[in-house]
Amino acid sequence: RGYSLLASFTYGRRVIRDKTMKMLMLMLAGLCGAAWAGQWDGCCTAGDRAKVLKAWSSVWSAENSNNRVQIAKAVFADLFAHDESAKNLFKAVGVDNVDSPEFQAHCVRVMGGLDISINLLHDKEALDAELAHLSVQHQEREGITAAYFDAIGESFQRVLPKAMTGFDADAWWSCYNVIKAGITHGLP
Q: What is the pLDDT of residues 49-100, one digit of tens each?
A: 999 999 999 888 767 677 888 999 999 999 999 999 999 999 999 999 999 9
Pinpoint the residues of the chain covered by CATH 1.10.490.10. 46-184
Structure-model confidence comparison of residues 13 and 142, the more confident one: 142
- Average pLDDT, integer, range 4-8: 37
Q: What is the per-residue DSSP string for 59-105?
A: HHSGGGGGGHHHHHHHHHHHHHHH-GGGGGGGGGGTTTSTTSHHHHH
The predicted pLDDT at position 63 comes to 73
The predicted pLDDT at position 59 comes to 85
Q: Is residue 101 scored above 60 in pLDDT?
A: yes
- Distance CA(37)–CA(115), nearest Å, equals 23
**pTM, 2 dp:** 0.74
Q: Is residue 17 scored above 90 in pLDDT?
A: no
- Distance CA(98)–CA(55), nearest Å, equals 26
Class of domain 46-184: mainly alpha
- Distance CA(133)–CA(144), nearest Å, equals 15
Structure-model confidence comparison of residues 25 and 86, the more confident one: 86
The predicted pLDDT at position 139 comes to 84
What angle in degrees, to the nearest 10, is found between the helix axes of 124-139 and 169-184? 60
- pLDDT band for position 27 (cuts 50, 70, 90): very low
Fill in the amino acid letter for 31: L
The predicted pLDDT at position 42 comes to 57
In 3D space, the residue among 56, 24, 48 whose CA is nearest the CA of residue 173 turns out to be: 48
Output b/e per residue, 162-176; b: 16+ Cβ within 10 A: ebbeebbeebbbbbb
Percent of the chain with pLDDT over 70: 77
Specify whether the CB–CB gap between 127 and 117 falls below 8 A: yes
